[in-house]
Structure 1
Amino acid sequence: MLADTTGPISNADLAQFAEFQEFRKRSRKRTPTKAATDPTAQPITEPEEADTPEDIIDATVATVHSALAAEILDRVMQLSPKSFEKLVLRVLSAMQYGTSGHVESTGDSADAGIDGVISQDPLGLDRIYVQAKRYARDRTVGRPAMQAFVGALQGQQADRGVFIATCDFTRDALDYADRVGVRIIPVNGIELAELMLKHRVGVQTNYVATLLRLDEDFYDSL
């Protein structure tokens, strides 16, 4: 293709290959992502023939990652509740929480409603409490579950928490979390999958391409 094509390689150029046609079909069959379910999200646009190679690569990566996020969430749903808690703590560690302190699981302790604790400093003075729920995708986290988490935080005299679930939160639950006197960050399933992609948790590099450009400084130095 590089040898036979002048200018950017477009979808029209790639359409002659059966492998590319099959890839497009698989991408369309994936579970709708946040862009499809969230009206505020920016839609992924198909690259036009006039796009630059960088634009085409960015669009392709976005399409692949969108499909991969759905695959990640499907795989996460196969984990046991205990393994899901470990995954959540692994993601938070990859996000650099607990870098100066540590991240620990409390799933086997008597801390009802608390699945993990992030100590932001070595002495554990600055702590964030974590709730991890692996619910069915068609379920929602309602206000009662959010209230229970707030109660658990208050029992620890804590003012910050992260509630991560594999499903969505109801508007009532989100409104309640905004009104209470503690800071709660809710993370739904799609957002969790996107964080795993961003911080390379549970995924591995499959293909790397390097684009080269003219080095004007080189020629100016001759």
Structure 2
Amino acid sequence: MGDREFEEYVADLCRRDGCTEVRRVGGANDLGADVMGRLPDGRKIVVQCKRYAKHRTVGSPDLRKFNGTARSEHGADVPLFVASCKFTKQARAFAARHDLVVVDVDLLGFWNSGTALTALLDLDIGRSGTNRRMAPG
């Protein structure tokens, strides 16, 4: 799956979970927004997607860049960073401090398997480890 396909895949998961006005906007000069839309409750969601090999990690510099544009440039109520790998401990801590939602490869698997996006938004990522698992619901 290429980068564009990964972005479309994430957009499709958003649509499946009741998001509206979902569109893929990623590309050159996207200022950190790959997918935008509205959650079922009307809040604006802005998504940054990173399709990295599973052995790689997303560090805090990527999250700092996204944090700098998600709300100020794109008007996000809910900034969501989705990755096909893990986030570093520092990245998760930064995300928790700045109210960014992060979905790593494990949570992406749950999302793909039917867990609703709204359930992922409520996780306490500041206390989670790199191998976190969702409790059966």
Give the TM bin, normalised by the shorter chain.
Answer: 0.7 to 0.9
Match of 1:186 in 2: 102
Tell me which amino acid in the other structure corresponds to 1:81.
D
> Does the 8 Å contact 2:84/2:104 carry over to 1?
yes
Matched, 1:139 2:56: yes
1:138: how far off? 0.5
1:1-222 pair list within 5 angstroms: 79-98=1-20, 102-108=21-27, 110-120=29-39, 126-153=43-70, 154-180=72-98, 183-198=99-114
Higher strand content, 1 or 2:
2
Inter-CA distance 157–195: structure 2 relative to 1 (3 Å threshold)? closer
**Partner-residue secondary structure (3-state), 2:33:** coil
Contact 2:46 2:74 in 1 (8 A): no
Gaps of 5+ in 1: 1-78, 200-222
Post-superposition offset of 1:89: 0.7
Instruction: Tell me, in whole angstroms, the C-alpha distance in 1 between the residues paired with 2:43 and 2:114.
Output: 25
Shift of 1:127: 1.1
Instruction: Flag the structure with more relative contact order, 1 or 2, with Cα contacts below 8 A and sequence separation at least 6.
Output: 2
Counterpart-to-counterpart distance in 1, 2:29 and 2:114:
33
What are the Cα deviations for residues 114-133 of structure 1, in whole angstroms up to 9, with x where unaligned?
A: 10111247xxx731100111
List runs of 5+ in structure 2 lacking aligned partners.
Answer: 116-137
* Percent of matched pairs sharing the same residue: 30
Specify the code of the residue in structure 1 equivalent to 2:91.
Answer: A
Does the residue aligned with 1:198 lie in a helix, a strand or coil? coil
Kindly state the Cα deviation for residue 152 of structure 1 after the two structures are TM-superposed: 1.7
SS of match in other structure, 2:113: helix
Q: What is the Cα deviation at residue 190 of structure 1?
A: 1.9
- The aligned length equals 113
Report how far residue 196 of structure 1 moved.
Answer: 1.1
Distance 1:120 1:193, change over 3 A: closer
CA shift for structure 1 position 109: 6.6
Larger radius of gyration: 1
RMSD across aligned C-alpha pairs, in angstroms? 1.9
CA distance in 2 between counterparts of 1:197 and 1:178 reads: 25
TM-score normalised over the length of structure 2: 0.74
